[in-house]
Structure formats: structure tokens, C-alpha cells
Amino acid sequence: MPTLLHLDTSADPVASTSRRITAAFAQAWLDADPANTVVYRDLHATPPPHLPDSALHWAPALRLDREQPDPAAVAVQDELIGELMAADAVVIGVPMYHWNMPSTLKAWIDHIHVLGVTASFAGSAKPLEGRPVALISSSGAQYGPGTPSEGWDKGIPALELVLGSSLGMAVSSLACELTLASRIPAMAPLKERSEANLAGALHSAGELAVMFHAQVAY
């Protein structure tokens, strides 16, 4: 039975755009097959700690003799990596905070990117090679090609580098912009476009979930 790992990171549990879109993705995943399952982790409600020991960047066999991380920290890392490795597909909510990803998501990345375990070292295998992951980004303004703020988004490119280039996962990115149009008076003329962006993102998320299921169904 295919399993989806669903990660949310928004600090807004009530009106978050990224949460709404990842929920639509997860629901479409479940609707695709009654046997499908979802493992959910809210990184804001239960944030992983900042990586407490640089030794955790390395597989146990690659650590120096002096590097003996706290077993409790190892257990946290093992749990997060275990969830990721057991998932057939992943969806991650990535709201833009100060032009970057939420710090809780960065902490998760620091735990799951481990040389010799999830990342290749000296030619070792990439166990997550080809595993599909959807990055669902949301931002209050516009940062796409041709906009004055093009290139300001530092979160999605970093995630594409870590999850895609380093871990070898098959990354798909879905963006929903102008989420602050209904809140900031100066952006009121963009409210209709904002609503259209959300509707389009919700639809695309459902389609992407169905595509992921078709790729991993067995």
C-alpha cells in the first residue's frame, strides 16, 4: 500500500495557504486508492530540534572515534529518516518566511540529509533516488520570472538542491503567490488574481498527487 509522507511547516494552523494546498494533495492521494495511507507530521506543532551535534551529518561508520552523539539525538534523527525512507512519495508545505523556508523545515533537512545514509558518500547508493517529492510553496507577493522580486526566493532552490541534486529525489514544485492580497490594503487590486492562484494551486495539487500515485502504485 503506497504511503505518502505529508509535512506541514506553516506557523498559522488556521488560515495557512500552504496547509490548505498540502491537505488537498493528501486527500487526492487517499482518493486515488482506498489502500493508500498518509503519515502526517506537523513540523511547526512538533518542531525537530536544531541539529545538536555535527557528527549527525555522517553515517555511524563514517564518524570519527571522538564523535559520539547523544543517543537521544540519534533516536530523533533515526525517527525522521525512518519516516522519509518508508514513504513512497512526499509532500511538503513551504511557506515563505523572510524569503526562505521556515526554520523548522531547515532543522528537518539537517536531520535527514546524512552522508552515507540518505546522501551518497564516496560513490555509495542514494536510497531515495527517483522518489517523488512535491514542494508546495506559498508567498505573500510575487517572485516568479519577470517580476521585480525574481530570485528573492531562497527556500525552494535550496530544497531542490538538497532533495533533488543531493538525495536524488524527483522534485516537483508548485507555487501559490499573492496570499496577502486580502490582508494588505495596497494589494487589494490583486485579490481576484490571488483567489485564482489559490484555485489553480488546489487543482494542480490534486493532479500532482494522482500522478505521484500512478508512479509508485504497486
Average pLDDT, the chain: 96
The CATH number linked to 11 is 3.40.50.360
pLDDT grade for 217, boundaries at 50, 70 and 90 = confident
Structure pTM?
0.96
The per-residue pLDDT for range 203-212, each reduced to its tens digit, is: 999 999 999 9
Count of alpha carbons within 13 angstroms of residue 30, beta-carbon side = 12
Mean pLDDT of 82-102: 98
Query: Across 79-212, where does the E strand assignment appear?
Result: 89-95, 132-138, 170-176
Mean pLDDT of 76-97: 98
Mean pLDDT of 66-77: 97
Mean pLDDT of 146-155: 94
Range in 77-81, 100-104, 141-145 with the lowest mean pLDDT: 141-145
- Strand, coil or helix: what is 47? coil
Give the per-residue pLDDT at 144. Answer: 86
Contact 91, 25 (CB under 8 A): yes
Mean pLDDT of 73-81: 98
Contact 147, 109 (CB under 8 A): no
Mean pLDDT of 180-191: 95
The per-residue pLDDT for range 111-142, each reduced to its tens digit, is: 999 999 999 999 999 999 999 999 999 999 99
Q: For residue 11, what are the domain limits?
A: 3-216
DSSP string for residues in 151-190: T---HHHHHIIIIIIIT--EEEEEEE--TTTTT-GGGGGG
The per-residue pLDDT for range 26-62, each reduced to its tens digit, is: 999 999 999 999 999 999 999 999 999 999 999 999 9
* pLDDT reading at 218 higher than 80: no
Give the per-residue pLDDT at 209. Answer: 98
pLDDT grade for 1, boundaries at 50, 70 and 90 = confident
State the total domains in the chain: 1
* pLDDT reading at 2 higher than 90: yes
